[in-house]
Amino acid sequence: MRALPKTITAAVVGFAVGAGAVSGGVYTFTQLRPAATTQANSSRTPSTSQYATVASTSTTLPLGPETISNVVKRVSPAIVKIVATVPQTSISSSPYFNPFFGSLFGQNIIPQQSQIQTDLGTGFFFNSQGDILTNDHVIHGADKIQVYVKGYSKPFTATRVGTDYATDLAIIKINAPKPMPTLTLGNSNNAQVGGWVIAIGNPYNLSDTVTVGVISAKGRPLTIGQRNYTNLLQTSAAINPGNSGGPLLNLAGQVVGINTAVSTQGQGIGFAIPTSTVDQILPQLMKYGKVSRPWIGVFITTDSRRLAQAYSLPTANGVVIAYVVPNSPAKAAGLAAGEVITAVNGKTVTTDTALEQIIQSQKVGGTVTLTINDQGRTIQKTITLAQEPNGPVSMPSAG
């Protein structure tokens, strides 16, 4: 069988912004990454309201001359600045050596030979006990996390409560000397395109910077490095390096998104993780410190009909395995690139979405039986599902 190509489709703008369709003989390979599921050992799914203040309504205030300034005054005490120290062997090799993610690389750029990288971000208290919500990329790999809280002259040292690489959410905690001011989590599903929003953060270390815009679009997919966001809010509120992890608020002062990314080649194109995603992730991070996702460990392509013609595959039905991750359940079960998955537990699969839906309905530690077409032979292989790694998993480039 001819080897499958390893070109990955990407129309890159800035740092992987604007990935789009590319015509011609190029195939898109996707890592199978199910959505978050409930922990297998939990008798009841924890809810966000157990850990955070959640809005009962999505009421917004009438827009007037003082509306935004009043909101800012009310919410600002709960918003913090985060400085994370990340040991690096080479700054240029860091996936966060890019202002897209909010690292502080301004006037004093750290030399390449430096062993230390400093990332600047934003976060906010979502309960009075000192728990802070932010982006995973703000603290990823950090061995020291300092939090600057309004009203205190010295920073607090924070500890990790839970992180989720896939959705780019993280919770850290400080030892609060007294109850902390908190923000209320609103409902992003009720946020309207064209509705006013406020972003507050620490861009380029300019603390407490306020920007205003509207929700430009909802449900935006975006690929940044090896993170595949599927449901982002797009906003015209200015977001810059250092805003990452900060709140995107409606006119009632409720958080509707977590500011995360900005197009480096466009103006007024920022992105935030909606609170609908936070609702799924925050309870698991608080209770377990991670998110439960059953994982096979394969990269697949769904263009099996076209591949069947170009690479003499035995069937045009199913999804083609492009790459098997080392030390993964798929590798342990003997799966190989070029094989075609046609069914899982007897259910036919023809797209990556169908395969993901079946896998995400399972539990970590459970087993699934794959029906494989291997060069015309139909065989079955049983896989024990593992916990998805909480970090980047990549497919090697052609070379």
Give the active site residue among 244, 263, 304, 328: 244
Is 236 noted as a catalytic residue in this protein?
A: no
Which one, of 281, 300, 301, lies nearest residue 291 by Cα? Answer: 281
Distance CA 116, CA 91 (A): 8
CA distance 341 to 28: 17
17 close to 283: Cβ distance less than 8 angstroms: no
Distance, in Å, from the CA atom of 281 to the CA atom of 157, rounded to the nearest integer, reads 24
> Where are the strands (E) in 74-143, listed by range?
79-87, 116-125, 131-135
Confirm whether 143 is a catalytic residue. no
Q: Exposed, middle or buried, 69 (CB in 10 Å: 0-12/13-18/19+)?
A: exposed
Catalytic residue among 168, 279, 292, 304: 168
SS3 39: coil
Q: Is the separation of the CB atoms in 263 and 14 below 8 Å?
A: yes
Q: How far is CA 298 from CA 184, 247, 338, 393, in A?
A: 39, 35, 11, 10
Beta strands of 90-168 (E only): which ranges? Answer: 116-125, 131-135, 144-148, 156-157, 159-164
Residue 251: which of 197, 192, 191 has the closest Cα? 197
Active-site annotation holder among 137, 140, 292, 328: 137
Q: How far is CA 381 from CA 313, 320, 334, in A?
A: 19, 15, 8
Active site residue 140: no
Rg (CA), the chain: 22
Phi, psi of 249 (to 5 degrees): -115, 150
Residues 46 and 40: their CA atoms lie apart, in Å, by 12
Assign 270 to helix, strand or coil. strand
Residues with catalytic function: 137, 168, 244
